[in-house]
Amino acid sequence: MQAAMALWRTNGYANTTVADICRAAGVSRALFYFYFPAKEDVLFEVGLLSTRAAQTIVRALLDTDYDVEAVIGEALRSLERSMARNPRELIVETILEGYRHEQRILAGELADDNDADMFGELFAKAQADGKLAEHVDIAHLSHLAQMHVSEGVRHWAGGAFGNRSFAEVVTEDVAALIAGFNLRAKGTA
């Protein structure tokens, strides 16, 4: 994955072949294909590394007297730092591969391993701690929050946020989503 990332950063995603990655990593194509069916799968795994880093931050903050919006903000700042190290084209490709991966899950071609669920654990704990209404569908809320993150990444990479940070914009969006779910669950919406 490190060899692939280095090549993608210098040569671009489209201009890098599996053979290039194998040469740079010093592995055979057979070994590559043992672990990854295609270079797109490497890209998906690279994207998951950033998500897992954000999940680690979420887990660490859940052991404190946490505020849900602050935890989301910290997770998204971590993701933004990771994105800032990569070309925007590569970030967009990563998001698109995430969408393709999700489509394969929905089509029954892949099992859903929930690795990309950045906020499910946070929302479940927040609900258990009374910070989210008890009738909020945590799985659905988490899915919608992840959609906001993915679209936010894509828009950020395209320059749509101007001088505002990705974390700032998307944290506000997810906080508004949570507020709406809480109001709706309480029957006051």
pTM, two decimal places: 0.87
138 in the same domain as 76: yes
Quote the pLDDT of residue 104.
Answer: 84
139 in the same domain as 78: yes
Quote the pLDDT of residue 108.
Answer: 84
Structure tokens of 152?
């936010």
Quote the pLDDT of residue 44.
Answer: 85
1 in the same domain as 53: no
56 in the same domain as 24: no
Burial 8-28 (b: 16+ CB within 10 A, else e): beeeebeebeeebbbeebeee
Residue from 125, 118, 121, 39 nearest 79 by CA: 118
Kindly report which listed range (3-7, 86-90, 112-116, 141-145) carries the lowest average pLDDT score: 112-116
Mean pLDDT of 106-122: 82
Quote the pLDDT of residue 189.
Answer: 45
Quote the pLDDT of residue 26.
Answer: 95
44 in the same domain as 22: no
Residue from 64, 104, 69, 98 nearest 175 by CA: 69
Mean pLDDT of 117-129: 95
Per residue in 11-69, pLDDT tens? 989 999 999 999 999 999 999 999 998 898 898 888 888 889 999 999 999 999 999 99
What rounded mean pLDDT belongs to the chain? 90
- In angstroms, how far is CA 135 from the centroid of its own chain? 25
Mean pLDDT of 91-105: 86
Quote the pLDDT of residue 100.
Answer: 86
**pLDDT band, residue 117 (cuts 50/70/90):** confident
What does the alpha-carbon distance between residue 32 and residue 68 come to, in Å, rounded to a whole number?
A: 40
100 in the same domain as 140: yes
Per residue in 132-165, pLDDT tens? 999 999 999 999 999 999 999 999 999 999 999 9
Provide the total of helices (H) and of strands (E) in the chain, helices listed first. 9, 0
| Polymer length of the chain | 189
156 in the same domain as 64: yes
Structure tokens of 18?
């599996």
The total number of structural domains in the chain stands at 2
CA distances for 18 relative to 15, 22, 36, 76, 91, angstroms: 10, 6, 10, 31, 19
128 in the same domain as 57: yes
Q: Please identify which residue in the block is written with the tokens 């809480």.
A: 182
- Domain, as residue range, for 14: 1-35
Structure tokens of 184?
């709706």
CA distances for 3 relative to 21, 40, 43, angstroms: 6, 14, 12
Q: 140 with 50: CB under 8 angstroms?
A: no
155 in the same domain as 137: yes
Does 185 score more than 70 pLDDT?
no
Quote the pLDDT of residue 25.
Answer: 95
CATH number, residue 131: 1.10.357
